[in-house]
């Protein structure tokens, strides 16, 4: 007997070999998908009626700072330099471990509600973020964000903390938590430090999560100091390979796109954050055309304000179309691939597709709503019409985290009440 059977749903498998199933069943057992078909002879302890819903792989957010839900709306509509140096950095310097735990738990709740089943995160006080993930039931690839600014003593301390975090948390939460090394960016980490981090990551057989060319300022600074931009610099150091998750990559040229493709780097595109901070428009359509592995991320709530990956998918598609003046670029199906299977590959997960043998990480979207009626094309609706609140059920590792809009496992009311009360006393508010 299986654990769960989902019946009567339109199944968007994201499996090119199988295609979509108009009205099918998904059999889940021991955390894995056992069967995806039009019907089944299996029985289960629990049955979920998916009538009127689309079943699809859970969304994968490949770049986030989930603890920054603390700063939602705190420093809006400011130039990047002012936003970062006068508001965010001073606030972060006063943030406690308990703050990060509360913010991370709130972020996990928001992700469950909006259909994200796995995410990559880089921040500080990461033990508390990992604790929140463990409690929430979500899947995550976590990294301690390391910065040395050329300070040798700081570099040593940062690397030791990164090693400790990776070894303490990798594989925790029944395997739902994996770890990565998190050198912040090539302009905030010295050459020596980057080489040490990369060597340690290879030794531990872990990937690296790093910001690359988020801004023109980074490109100008790296060119002035090293005579080349971040991509060429990192490539020359031997840093770039398939075990690198590069956030942003906004300011890459055609030669650098080819380097990213040839090295197998996974790029996390964060369109809403890039737009809000006026960082620029990443050439995603060109990257995909060259074979770069591109996924999607929200970044933190200080530069996005929410963690809704449906919003991120729509924005990604529309931004490429208008910037290239071509409505055919970045189709709905391509964007769904970025938000599911591409994201799963970027994090090394056995997810992102509804197929036997893959992790049972999936969501049900309620299609019986005014803004989703009528339905001519399901992928189009999911990208251009759906929003996070349309998610009805969220399942991770075969465990139901939300069913029919009701959160299971976490105390939603307590989390919201606690955060509202806690926010009033946050000492960094101006």
Domain annotation for the chain: domains and CATH numbers:
2-57+351-412 (2.30.40.10)
Nearest residue to 294 via CA among 348, 345, 252: 345
Distance from C-alpha of 173 to C-alpha of 401, rounded to nearest angstrom: 14
Pair 404, 8: CB distance under 8 Å: no
For 107-116, what is the mean pLDDT? 98
Residues facing residue 402 across a β-bridge: 394, 407
Pair 193, 153: CB distance under 8 Å: no
DSSP class of residue 54 equals E
**Predicted confidence band at 85 (pLDDT cuts at 50, 70, 90)?**
confident
DSSP class of residue 88 equals I
For residue 374, cis peptide bond before it (omega within 30 degrees of 0): yes
DSSP class of residue 370 equals G
241 CB burial (10 A radius; 0-12, 13-18, 19+) = middle
Distance from C-alpha of 7 to C-alpha of 40, rounded to nearest angstrom: 9
**Predicted confidence band at 180 (pLDDT cuts at 50, 70, 90)?**
very high
- For the chain, the distance separating the N- and C-terminal CA atoms, rounded to the nearest angstrom, is 57
- Model confidence pLDDT, tens digit, residues 338-367: 999 999 999 999 999 999 999 999 999 999
pLDDT value of position 142: 98
For 216-240, what is the mean pLDDT? 96
pLDDT value of position 283: 98
Nearest residue to 375 via CA among 38, 54, 49, 8: 54
* Total-model pTM: 0.97
**Predicted confidence band at 428 (pLDDT cuts at 50, 70, 90)?**
low
**Predicted confidence band at 274 (pLDDT cuts at 50, 70, 90)?**
very high
Return the half-sphere exposure (C-beta side, CA atoms, 13 A cut-off) of residue 360: 24
């Amino acid at each position: 007997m299986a654990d769960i059977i989902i019946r009567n749903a339109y199944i968007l498998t994201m499996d090119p070999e199988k295609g979509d199933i108009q009205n099918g069943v998904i059999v889940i057992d021991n955390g894995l998908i056992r069967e995806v078909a039009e019907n089944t002879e299996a029985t289960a302890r629990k049955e979920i009626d998916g009538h009127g819903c689309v079943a699809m792989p859970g969304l994968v957010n490949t770049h986030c700072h989930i603890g920054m839900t603390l700063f939602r709306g705190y420093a809006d509509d400011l130039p990047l330099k002012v936003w970062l140096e006068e508001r965010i950095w001073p606030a972060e310097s006063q943030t406690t471990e308990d703050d990060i735990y509360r913010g991370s738990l709130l972020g996990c709740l928001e992700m469950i509600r909006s259909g994200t089943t796995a995410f990559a995160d880089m921040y500080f006080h990461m033990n508390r973020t990992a604790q929140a993930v463990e409690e929430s039931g979500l899947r995550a690839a976590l990294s301690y964000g390391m910065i040395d600014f050329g300070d040798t003593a700081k570099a040593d301390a940062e690397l030791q903390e990164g090693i400790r975090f990776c070894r303490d948390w990798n594989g925790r939460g029944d395997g739902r938590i994996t770890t990565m090394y998190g050198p912040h960016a090539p302009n905030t980490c010295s050459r020596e430090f980057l080489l040490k981090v990369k060597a340690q990551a290879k030794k531990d057989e872990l990937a690296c999560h790093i910001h690359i060319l988020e801004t023109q300022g980074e490109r100008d600074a790296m060119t002035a100091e090293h005579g080349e931009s971040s991509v060429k610099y990192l490539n020359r150091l031997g840093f770039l390979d398939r075990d690198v998750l590069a956030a942003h990559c906004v300011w890459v040229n055609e030669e650098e796109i080819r380097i990213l493709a040839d090295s197998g780097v996974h790029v996390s595109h964060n369109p809403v954050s890039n737009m809000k901070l006026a960082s620029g428009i990443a050439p995603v359509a060109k990257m995909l055309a060259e074979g770069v592995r591109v996924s999607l991320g929200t970044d933190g709530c200080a530069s996005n304000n929410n963690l809704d990956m449906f919003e991120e998918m729509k924005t990604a598609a529309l931004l490429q179309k208008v910037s290239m003046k071509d409505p055919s670029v970045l189709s709905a199906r391509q964007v769904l691939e970025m938000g599911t299977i591409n994201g799963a590959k970027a994090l090394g997960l056995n997810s992102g597709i509804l197929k036997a043998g893959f992790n049972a990480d999936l969501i049900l979207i309620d299609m019986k709503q005014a803004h989703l009626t009528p339905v001519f094309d399901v992928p189009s609706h999911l990208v251009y019409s759906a929003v996070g609140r349309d998610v009805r059920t969220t399942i991770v590792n075969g465990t139901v985290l939300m069913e029919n809009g009701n959160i299971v496992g976490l105390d939603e009311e307590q989390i919201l009440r606690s955060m509202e009360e806690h926010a009033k006393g946050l000492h960094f508010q101006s």
